[in-house]
Amino acid sequence: MSLVHEVDYGTPASRSEKMVSLTIDGVEVTVPEGTSIMRASMEAGISVPKLCATDMVDAFGSCRLCLVEIEGRNGTPASCTTPAMDGLVVHTQTSRLKDIRKGVMELYISDHPLDCLTCAANGDCELQDMAGAVGLRDVRYGYEGDNHVFAKADGVANDRWLPKDESNPYFTYDPAKCIVCSRCVRACEEVQGTFALTIEGRGFGSRVASGAHESFIESECVSCGACVQACPTATLTEKSVIAIGQPEHSKVTTCAYCGVGCSFKAEMRGEELVRMVPYKDGKANRGHSCVKGRFAYGYSTHKDRILNPMIREKVTDPWREVTWDEAYKHVASEFRRLQYQYGRNSVGGITSSRCTNEETFLVQKLVRAGFGNNNVDTCARVCHSPTGYGLKQTFGTSAGTQDFDSVEHTDVVVVIGANPTDGHPVFASRLKKRLRKGAKLIVIDPRRIDLVRTPHVQASHHLALRPGTNVAVLTSLAHVVVTEGLFDEAFIRERCDWDEFQDWASFVSSPEHSPEATEELSGVPAEELRKAARLFATGGNGAIYYGLGVTEHSQGSTTVMAIANLAMATGNIGRKGVGVNPLRGQNNVQGSCDMGSFPHELPGYRHIADDSTREIFDRLWGVKLQDEPGLRIPNMLDAAVDGTFKGIYIQGEDILQSDPDTRHVAAGLAAMECVVVHDLFLNETANYAHVFLPGSTFLEKDGTFTNAERRINRVRKVMSPLNGAADWEVTQNLAKAMGLNWNYTHPSEIMAEIALTTPSFAGVTYDLLDKEGSVQWPCNEKAPLGTPIMHIDGFARGKGKFIRTEYVATDERTGPRFPLLLTTGRILSQYNVGAQTRRTDNVVWHEEDRLEIHPHDAENRGIKTGDWVRVTSRAGETTLRALITDRVSPGVVYTTFHHPSTQANVITTDFSDWATNCPEYKVTAVQVGASNGPSDWQVQYDEQARLSRRIAVLDAAE
Amino acid sequence: MQSAGTEIAARAIGIIDQFKNLEGPLLPILHGLQEEFGYVPPESLPIVAQALNISRAEVHGVFTFYHDYRDHPAGRHVLKLCRAEACQSMGGDALAALAKQQLGIDWHQTTSDEAVTLEPIYCLGLCACAPAAMLDGEVIGRLDAEKLEEIVAEVRL
């Protein structure tokens, strides 16, 4: 094993299709027009010395090391800024060039410490490499002069010297080692798009500064790591590298946080993870990362991780550690007992959107083939189930239509109910890059998310609608498109059902759907909405990106269909730069849906009632599958309260914290006789569990994740599972204990079974993934290398279907008792319920959830920033601290749900999407008032959680 | 404190509004602020960043690049002595030493009576009349000890 080596071509690739040929050091090279001489050289295997150039950012031409000579031209131009042209004859190594380079290096080194042996970058330092490459043997200038290296000279403090900035939890900035190549500044601007770094001063006084000469942690820095990645020296270095040393081998794997699915190199020293480095060939992230994927992996070795299986009779007992065998036998006998006593349908399972496709497939197989029912569901129930339903109805496929590269070809972007800079940061960086190049942006969100206005990006229109009025606003947009004749008739006639279009067009054209009519209920000014509609319909390639602000509503599915209608009506489907793009919340939420996690669907979104599909599985698995859909998560909980549902196997989901109406979830779990939680940590759900099976992290197993663009990415095992078994092995052993004859020896065999049974995965093998890096389903005979963009020549379902989208106000209404609307969201540094990120240093950015409230509403209630406030809804109440901000409109309050103590879901109600039961998280009518501290429920809950987390061996003395 | 900050902010916003629609408005705004306040108040920089929708870091980078922008008030007069090659060869060093001694301050410092700030400058384009100086924006050629003493006396008035 060795490090995965990536070639640095020095400057970005040119997109030109015109080719030019030139000769470099006697080698004929043909490259696209616009390619730099530096990159052309590297393509031919000739590496020109360089320091300020790297292929993640544009050429800069400052280091004067990459100079070349070109026959017939004067001087020594920089190869990074000089484009290749037909017929050039270039020399990269002449005696003149050698002298210049050596002289330049001498100057660099005269102001750089000579502590190479004890330097963290030793073995991974481009400055060291270049000193070697140019043959530096001596520094004639000495080290006594003006410098940035030594804190003191002759006992006198050196004004130029700056101390190391260690404020960021993950990396350090040591100005003494900086050569001011500006790579970090350019990476922050061009790759990440935050513009948190600059060069302050000029000449010899130039320094890299974060913010306005602030520490990194106080500056605008979002800790994405792009600067650390770009730094050629030890100036910006991961603290983990300083602590551990250089890695010696690496493997390419996939991040286990959000649905962007970034590819990383896990760089290892033995079985110890040294650092995660974004992989340039990763097709989702193209070499970029965010603070979570890049740095927040500390949870994988956190002391809270449970490594031994545990059992208890009652949830009030302390846990008792047992062997794996004992745990498997116990679960098997309990589930069999429950099924014997209460019937076959009294048990079920929940698959995880955090686990691999293979693991998810096994859990649903265990439920369908082992339990003999269809009581399987997944956390997508509470996030993107309306996406699956809505897009299946309109287009024929339950998934987004594009790849992330598509955003580079977009002219008008609509972001609805999503906050990409926090929730999907790497996609947001790619989007911002496109926006800086001139694409237009329309944001539809109740809250002024960062994208509305952030350095160098400004939305053309921000439709700050009242929560719960998505359908009204989208239908009004369609009204403008249709009534002003902005629809794409040719596209619709060719691709869609014209009669259905006409029916829909007459529906949206009616006056009650005009922006003027909906303004009163949505709060969106009619003129602004009209302008936004015109821009989207006429501004070129229009792409819609949306998140949970669309789906988590009583009309979630309707909103998804309204989005699809709008895209079809404007002809924005089936090519680069357009499309309907759900931003998936979790790493494998697309995959868990694909793998048949829903009670009514077998893998590949085929209905359980379909005889021919069932037959495939019946024959292969040697069982007779039930032909009726099983219970959804809320139904399971209802049935538990009713006493008919008694046992559940929950893999990697914390339903108590993430599902709505916490008290109801708690009551459901408390009514069951065997709750099996399979997770990394004793999560909130485990407070009600009878069996705990320790889980493994993404670093500890092989498998695949499928991201928001349908991309199947490999997850590769880089360390042995601390708990002794990967999650797929645990599920398999459980199945064996229940008498099933499963004998998978590697996840690739599970993928083979998926491919065998599921047409859209027919061509997927681990060999193909190793060869291609990743593929996007459908991947089969028709598309052997996968499908980056869907519905190119026609919709998957045949003709695109327009569906009427009647706005129905949610039953969750404001009134005198509950006058405010609460909506929820995420923050950059934390992920979902926070089980992972709360156990990393990311807590320095977000140590608690806050309630955002408009100054007007706060003043009425006498609330100041930092005050404890009580939030009360029809379902319950909780307390947290307030943050006064005009990001939210008057009448709207907002919070995140990353911390269990906040208990935000105590107040959310059990209203849900009409089609899929996806909970209405995004709208809860609440009242907010001053409070002295935690609510009674929070106090009781904390006490119960504390008691239920006792482990007997450790707590025996108590 | 609060009111002083608010007052600076209000005046800064007035300046920003005057220039922000220009192409490349940052330098004109910084000039405007320096003219208004005699220096560029650090607390006005985030307001500039916000108004132009650029980052604090970018404003800081530009502001620190130009030596002529001050982050604190100067004396009533500003005396700049040329330190470039031609002036040095014509006795600039001795004049610089004299100026420092007469004023009792070093480069970039202001006399305790707030009368004058002494600054080095690198070439005023007056090499033919070296050594050269600049007092409150007016260039002075063929500076000698006598002229310098006159200047010192004048600014001290």
Tell me the C-alpha distance between A256 and A680, whole Å: 13
Are A387 and A582 in contact by the 8 Å Cβ rule? The answer is yes
Confidence of residue A954 (pLDDT cuts 50, 70, 90): low
Q: How far is B115 from chain A (nearest CA, A)?
A: 27
CB contact under 8 A, A197 and B54: no
Are A72 and A101 in contact by the 8 Å Cβ rule? The answer is no
Are A230 and A288 in contact by the 8 Å Cβ rule? The answer is no
Tell me the C-alpha distance between A510 and A507, whole Å: 6
So where are chain A's domains? 19-133, 152-299, 310-383+589-754, 385-582, 820-948
Is the CB of B76 inside 8 Å of chain A's CB atoms?
A: no
Which residue of chain B has the CA closest to A455?
B54
A211 contacts in B (CB within 8 Å)?
55-57, 60
A194 contacts in B (CB within 8 Å)?
55
Alpha helix segments (H runs only) across A204-290:
226-230, 239-244
Q: How far is A533 from chain B (nearest CA, A)?
A: 25
| pLDDT attached to residue A943 | 86
Find the CB nearest A455 among B55, B65, B67.
Answer: B55
Question: In the predicted model, is pLDDT for residue A830 greater than 50?
Answer: yes
> Is the pLDDT higher at A159 or at A900?
A159
| Residue where the block lists tokens 């650390």 | A228
Is the CB of B65 inside 8 Å of chain A's CB atoms?
A: yes
Report DSSP state, residue A115: -
Tell me the C-alpha distance between A277 and A280, whole Å: 9
Confidence of residue A289 (pLDDT cuts 50, 70, 90): very high
Is the CB of B71 inside 8 Å of chain A's CB atoms?
A: no
Is the CB of B58 inside 8 Å of chain A's CB atoms?
A: yes
CB contact under 8 A, A198 and B60: yes
Find the CB nearest B60 among A202, A209, A455.
Answer: A209
Dump pLDDT digits (tens) for A32-68.
Answer: 999 999 999 999 999 999 999 999 999 999 999 999 9
Is the CB of A886 inside 8 Å of chain B's CB atoms?
A: no
Residue A929: which of A868, A887, A875 has the closest Cα? A868
CATH architecture designation of domain B77-156: 3-Layer(aba) Sandwich (3.40)
> What fold is seen in the domain A820-948?
Barwin-like endoglucanases (2.40.40)
Find the CB nearest A200 among B46, B53, B64.
Answer: B64
Q: How far is A777 from chain B (nearest CA, A)?
A: 40
Is the CB of B43 inside 8 Å of chain A's CB atoms?
A: no
Q: Does domain A19-133 have CATH number 2.60.120.260?
A: no
B61 contacts in A (CB within 8 Å)?
198-200, 209
Which residue of chain A has the CA closest to B51?
A455
> What fold is seen in the domain A152-299?
Alpha-Beta Plaits (3.30.70)
Question: For the stretch A837-855, what's the b/e string if a residue is b when 16 or more beta carbons lie within 10 angstroms of its beta carbon?
Answer: bbbbbbbebbeebbbbbbe
Tell me the C-alpha distance between A379 and A371, whole Å: 20
Question: In the predicted model, is pLDDT for residue A957 greater than 50?
Answer: no
B60 contacts in A (CB within 8 Å)?
198, 200, 209, 211-213
So where are chain B's domains? 2-65, 77-156
Are A319 and A616 in contact by the 8 Å Cβ rule? The answer is no
CATH architecture designation of domain A310-383+589-754: 3-Layer(aba) Sandwich (3.40)
Find the CB nearest A209 among B42, B49, B57.
Answer: B57
Tell me the C-alpha distance between A693 and A618, whole Å: 29
Residue A223: which of A233, A209, A206, A238 has the closest Cα? A238
Alpha helix segments (H runs only) across A843-929:
855-860
B55 contacts in A (CB within 8 Å)?
194-196, 198, 211, 220, 455
Tell me the C-alpha distance between B36 and B12, whole Å: 8
Tokens standing for residue A733: 């052993």
Question: In the predicted model, is pLDDT for residue A244 greater than 80?
Answer: yes
Is the CB of B60 inside 8 Å of chain A's CB atoms?
A: yes
A196 contacts in B (CB within 8 Å)?
55, 57
CB contact under 8 A, B61 and A195: no
3-state secondary structure of A802: coil
- pTM equals 0.93
Ranking A30-39, A300-309, A383-392, A461-470 by mean pLDDT, the lowest is: A383-392
> What fold is seen in the domain A385-582?
Dimethylsulfoxide Reductase; domain 2 (3.40.228)
| pLDDT attached to residue A953 | 66
Dump pLDDT digits (tens) for A787-819.
Answer: 999 999 889 889 999 999 999 888 888 888 999
Tell me the C-alpha distance between A296 and A830, whole Å: 9
| pLDDT attached to residue A383 | 81
A192 contacts in B (CB within 8 Å)?
none
Interface of A with B in 209-268 (CB under 8 A): 209-213, 219-220
Confidence of residue A470 (pLDDT cuts 50, 70, 90): very high
ipTM of the complex as predicted: 0.90
The Cα angle at residue B109 between residues B106 and B114, in degrees rounded to 5: 130
* Distances A717 to A274, A406, A498, A652, A700 between C-alpha atoms, Å: 15, 30, 51, 18, 5
Question: In the predicted model, is pLDDT for residue B3 greater than 70?
Answer: no
Neighbours of A16 (CB within 10 A): 12
Find the CB nearest A196 among B55, B59, B65.
Answer: B55
